Amino acid sequence: MKVVILDTPTDVARYGADLFQQQLQRNPASVFGLATGSTPVQLYRELIERNRQGLLSFREVRTFNLDEYMDLPATHPQSYRHFMNSEFFDHIDIDPANTRVPPGDAADPIAACTDYERAIADAGGIDIQLLGIGRNGHIGFNEPTSCLTSRTRVKTLTRETIEDNARFFSAGEHQPHLSVTMGIGTIMEARLVLLLATGESKAAAVKAMVEGPVSAWCPASALQMHPAAVVLVDEAAASQLSNPGFFKHIEAENQALLARLGHCP
């Protein structure tokens, strides 16, 4: 696990965007796993601006989103399909037919989960899987106690996650307690996993993910076992790490080596 501690959320977004841009330079037809939530929005805005400037293109890209609420149509303003369209897809040169979000309103959600796994495999797997992290250590909607080898499935949300997301729903509005989510096993098959965390509210989860045991109680801790996981955090999210200077030293040495070899950081 590579942990990179940066000064601000803006720095986190720019570093993450650099990794996406480098991947697109290697393969314009890359497959990206994408995430929703407040943390990746700044990254998406950075990618939108680079697309506008002609620095990168999504014309050949295919995407698969991590998760979706159950029983919300794609047109619902709180659906993750609506979020992705309004925050990202509608502003870049991607073919909408190449964007996939788990169908939370499918007539048979169990079968839809199997189809989603098959579609990812048929696309050749995911090149970069973008993640955030919940305060309880969840990734996607893989809540604590999730199987670390799980596949795309229907998942019950914890009370903590429901309470965290309640601010997005109006009083009296139906708020789903179920979701469709990629499994941890699905996420772990991505060639690169990129997790973003910003703000003091994520500091305890970041510490558990990086320093704690690999445990179903902190689903994100499974990334310790991934051969190419990059964790980008700002100073606030890194504030509970035991030795943040250690990670800063490693990153400085890595950047120096890349510069000496003439590679992009």
pLDDT of residue 120: 98
pLDDT digits (tens, 9 = 90+) for 184-193: 999 999 999 9
The DSSP element (H or E) to which 69 belongs, if any, is strand 67-69
The active-site residue, picked from 127, 143, 189, 234, is: 143
The active-site residue, picked from 51, 65, 67, 189, is: 67
Contact present, 258 and 176 (Cβ < 8 Å): no
pLDDT of residue 132: 97
* CB-count burial class (<10 Å; 0-12, 13-18, 19+) for 101: buried
pLDDT of residue 158: 86
Mark whether 85 is an active-site residue: no
Contact present, 223 and 189 (Cβ < 8 Å): no
Mark whether 254 is an active-site residue: no
Rounded average pLDDT over 30-52: 97
**Residue 264: pLDDT band with limits 50, 70, 90:** low
Mark whether 138 is an active-site residue: yes
The active-site residue, picked from 51, 65, 136, 142, is: 136
pLDDT of residue 167: 81
Rounded average pLDDT over 76-105: 95
Fold classified for 2-261: Rossmann fold (3.40.50)
Parallel, antiparallel or unpaired: strands 178-181 and 153-156: antiparallel
Domain boundaries, the chain: 2-261
The active-site residue, picked from 65, 105, 138, 226, is: 138
pLDDT digits (tens, 9 = 90+) for 107-146: 999 999 999 999 999 999 999 999 999 999 999 999 999 9
Mark whether 93 is an active-site residue: no
- Asked whether residue 265 carries a pLDDT value surpassing 90, the answer given is no
pLDDT of residue 172: 73
**Residue 34: pLDDT band with limits 50, 70, 90:** very high
pLDDT of residue 147: 96
